[in-house]
Amino acid sequence: MDSIYGDLKPVVVSLLFPPPCGEGWGGGEIFMTHYSGRYSGWVEVVCGPMFSGKTEELIRRLRLVQIAKQRIQIFKPLIDNRYHDTCISSHNDQKFQCTPISDAKQIIDEINDTTRVVGIDEAQFFSDELVDVCEKLANRGIRVIASGLDQDYLGKPFGPMPKLLAIAESVLKLKAVCMVCGESATKTQRLTADTDQVVVGSGECYEARCRACFDPDLTLELSKPAVPVSKKVKTEAFMPR
Ligand code: ADP
Ligand code: MG
Ligand code: ZN
């Protein structure tokens, strides 16, 4: 009898609660369910440079979750008020309502019992506490989708992202288009001489670059006559160096 129940249980449970299978709901991958009758959550990370479509991809996955009628909560760091205070927003103006928070631990306080999926945008701006928060949520059975910059303007790992990538069940690393040569861009070029790791801005301060065109110290720019980087890049965009 034990073995029969052992076989039947997952089937019965899956009829009551559809399995958290990423394939149908925008994860792009099959995820495991637990045959003990408990369902596990997991962590998905979407990363890449600025303009690579991280927020677009997060929104795409969340829309599919909405279609599946699962409860979602979305968070972003309070610091990211570039476009809209209470929305995550992509560069091509797709939006999703969210809760801005100043500290990753607030996510735990804000979570409702019925929430099945948690989206987090601009994850790089949170502290390392975000990693524990994501683990806790996933251990509670929640699907966590976090998107953020993997590297800062110097090409160094950004905030909690390296740890988040390490503990994630699924990782998608996106590329943008290099604004100098048109190749695949994996880096975020800062166009100003600010040296703080966090300078919130968009196209006026940053652009996507490939490894060959990436100039983190602005040495190529500074060795040339006084032409503003942004102007130079705009006029020479897609011309081989
Ligand atoms: P991210 O969240 O990674 O910064 P978004 O999802 O906000 O990116 O925006 C992606 C969109 O940005 C693209 O679909 C495209 O319309 C636009 N875009 C602007 N510049 C670039 C670029 N250099 N490479 C790719 N997409 C770009
Ligand atoms: Mg974004
Ligand atoms: Zn390039």
Query: According to the per-residue pLDDT averaged within each range, which of 14-18, 77-81, 225-229 is highest?
Result: 77-81
Ligand 1 pocket member 53 (CB < 6 A): yes
Q: Which of 91, 153, 158, 187 to mutate to test the pocket of ligand 1 (most atoms within 8 A of CB)?
A: 91
Tokens encoding 112: 């409702």
Residue 159 Cα to ligand 2 midpoint, Å, equals 15
What single DSSP character describes residue 124? G
Give the three-class secondary structure for 55: helix
Domains in the chain with CATH codes: 32-174 (3.40.50.300), 175-241 (3.30.60.20)
Copy the structure tokens of residue 42.
């997991």
pTM: 0.81
pLDDT digit string (tens) for 1-35? 344 333 333 333 333 344 444 444 555 444 544 44
- What are the pLDDT digits (tens) for 85-101? 899 989 888 889 999 99
Paired with 73 in beta bridges are 118
